[in-house]
Amino acid sequence: MQFQELNLSKPLLDAVAQLGFTEMTEIQEKTIPLLLEGRDVIGKSNTGTGKTAAFSLPILEQMEPSDCDHVCALILCPTRELAMQACEEIRKFARFKKYIRPAAVYGGASMDRQIHQLKNGANLVVGTPGRVLDHLRRRTLKLDQLKTIVLDEADEMLNMGFREDIETVLEQIPQKRQTVLFSATMPPAILAITKQYQNDPVMIQIKSAHRTVDAIAQYYVSVPMGRKTDALHLLLLAKQPNSAMIFCNTKKMVDELTDALCMRGFPAVGLHGDMKQLQRTQVMNGFKSGKNTILIATDVAARGIDVKGVDAVFNYDLPQDHEYYIHRIGRTGRAGKTGTAYNILSGRKQEIEMREISRYTKAEITEIAVPTSRELRAAAVEREQERLLALSATAVSEEAMMLTNILLENAESAKGILAAMVQQHLTEATKNLPTFDVPKPIRKGRHAGAKTVRVHINAGRRDRMAPNFILGALVEATGMAGNTFGKIDIHDQFTTVEVPETELDFVVDVMQHEKINGKKVVVRRYEEYGGKRDGGRSKGRQQSVQRRSSRHGYNQNARSGSYNRKRQKG
């Protein structure tokens, strides 16, 4: 349904049209008519679905010039950024209704300016609960003629501990009013509030996040402990997003990661709740204007923030709450654009969480390899070549030309000079590049607890096979983590290795063309005939090697061919 089909007055329809809105979103289509009727509404819909317009258009429609010398509507938002953002959007909708004067009030900013605004005819107030209460106590805000109150992002306000403040506000406003509540999730605490403070509310729930999430390509990389920043660095270089948001779970991590990325030369800024208002505004402005293309934030700081053109979201930490995953990646791919989300995992626990998130969101999250520094160097060389070739068209001064001609007199030295200059540029272009050379794409999951089978390799002690040669070759060829493989039994003429049953065909397949310690080998499924196990037959002569889990150092170790392991004589 189109906005123009709504029973809205011309000034609002014109403003909406000017903003380029034509079709309503689902939540708008379902709630606006009810709100225009004056009903109390509970609206549940994901971030980015246009809830601001849903609750503000009906308010603006109902505001008449005659009753506008007092505050008619109050909108409570969890954070200063959201209050500012909602207020800005409302200003745009009210563009052609000049008597509507929105004001935003939030903590951390000058009280005087807000008091001035409130005194000078503000009739629609958007604010954070604490500051609104502050103004009520000072009597700089009067709500005795309030017609509508909106609790926007109600779940987040409760998460942030605003429950008491909200209730205090609700107690102080006229009983006869419209109470509207919007939220992305519907925990029981919200329902308790609606029960107590709403009058026969209609609940509108827009099903699932799929619309938002589906437009977003989702990937994950799995890296050893302590290598997340390197992985992020390489992903940022390889994907070159125009504008990216990176999520961390703690303020401390936001600070640390911001420092780390800045040190590495990225234009990154951090945003979290401990920052002063001025600082936060500066950060948001820097990010919105494109001066800083990377914003690192906690969930609370970033909740609901609507920045156009974020083309990649990175989860440096996975969110603790699955709904938050949807909110986070919803920062990209907004308003029908496509976006990409990358999750950086370390350790089995996070891989399991990732799988649960994938199941919960019904989204496909594909594993990719961390781009290697080698690939990135190659890309940098290519870019440098293009850049230098493009330079040849640059106009230069006569002096420069003269010097060039002198330098060109000796071809050999001219070549040396050019090489040195190219080297300078390349060094610059590839400086700080972390080394992160995973040999092949990492294959799925670890397989702890999975059913294993054994493969037979036709090389044994007689061929001078040692466990590290065999494991090294398997890891190199399959790209699977070293600890995917189980027990390695080396016999005189052959070796058996435990592999996850699900990976058997793959291992056999890729090993067909491989050499181990210089010897071409045949790898096949090990058949245990007659119920007799090889371990029993060759007891005493075989060398059993049980791998200790050594996820942490595997990549580095794989290079040098040495592995942590515990030897045990069979």
Residue among 12, 13, 41, 47 that touches ligand ADP (CB under 6 A): 47
Residue 364 interacts with, from ligand ADP, Mg ion, none (CB under 5-8 Å by kind): none
CB of 302 to ligand ADP, least distance (A): 12
Q: What is the DSSP letter of 430?
A: T
In angstroms, what CA-CA distances link 402 with 338, 417, 420, 422? 52, 16, 20, 21
In angstroms, what CA-CA distances link 373 with 332, 337, 435, 466? 27, 30, 6, 31
Residues 32-51 that bind Mg ion (CB under 5 A): 51
CB of 488 to ligand ADP, least distance (A): 54
Residue 50 interacts with, from ligand ADP, Mg ion, none (CB under 5-8 Å by kind): ligand ADP
* Residues whose CB is less than 8 angstroms from the CB of residue 157 and which lie 6 or more positions away in sequence, other chains included: 76, 77, 78, 129, 151, 163, 166
Residue among 53, 72, 376, 545 that touches ligand ADP (CB under 6 A): 53
In angstroms, what CA-CA distances link 371 with 17, 236, 342, 348, 437? 44, 10, 13, 21, 8
Q: Over 476-545, what HEC string results?
A: HHHCCCHHHCCCEEECCCCEEEEEEHHHHHHHHHHHCCCEECCEECCEEECCCHHHCCHHHHCCCCCEEE
User: Applying CB under 6 A, which part among 17-25, 68-76, 271-279, 555-563 lies near ligand ADP?
Assistant: 17-25
Nearer to ligand ADP, 26 or 476 (CB): 26
Residue among 6, 25, 123, 469 that touches ligand ADP (CB under 6 A): 25
CB of 474 to ligand ADP, least distance (A): 49
CB of 296 to Mg ion, least distance (A): 22
CB burial readout 82-98, b (16+ within 10 A) else e: bbbbbbebbbebbeebe
In angstroms, what CA-CA distances link 261 with 176, 234, 245, 253, 431? 53, 11, 13, 12, 13
CB of 253 to Mg ion, least distance (A): 25
User: Applying CB under 6 A, which part among 21-29, 187-195, 282-290, 487-495 lies near ligand ADP?
Assistant: 21-29
Q: What is the DSSP letter of 549?
A: P
CB of 20 to ligand ADP, least distance (A): 7
CB of 306 to ligand ADP, least distance (A): 4
Q: Quote the tokens at residue 419.
A: 């090489």
User: Applying CB under 6 A, which part among 22-30, 104-112, 117-125, 371-379 lies near ligand ADP?
Assistant: 22-30
Q: Which of 269, 38, 273, 67 is nearest to 160 (CA)?
A: 273
Nearer to ligand ADP, 254 or 326 (CB): 326
SS3 of residue 36 by DSSP: helix
51 counts as binding ligand ADP under rule CB under 6 A:
yes
CB of 289 to ligand ADP, least distance (A): 17
303 counts as binding Mg ion under rule CB under 5 A:
no
78 counts as binding Mg ion under rule CB under 5 A:
no
Nearer to Mg ion, 304 or 467 (CB): 304
* Residues whose CB is less than 8 angstroms from the CB of residue 176 and which lie 6 or more positions away in sequence, other chains included: none
Q: How far is CA 258 from the centre of its chain?
A: 15
304 counts as binding Mg ion under rule CB under 5 A:
yes
Say how many C-beta atoms besides its own lie within 10 A of residue 78's C-beta.
Answer: 23
Nearer to Mg ion, 55 or 197 (CB): 55
Nearer to Mg ion, 44 or 51 (CB): 51
Residues 300-319 that bind ligand ADP (CB under 6 A): 304, 306
- Cβ 241 vs Cβ 311: under 8 Å: yes
225 counts as binding ligand ADP under rule CB under 6 A:
no
Helices 411-429 & 398-408, crossing angle to 10 degrees?
A: 120
Binding site for ligand ADP (CB under 6 A): 21, 23-25, 28, 47-53, 304, 306, 335
Binding site for Mg ion (CB under 5 A): 51, 304
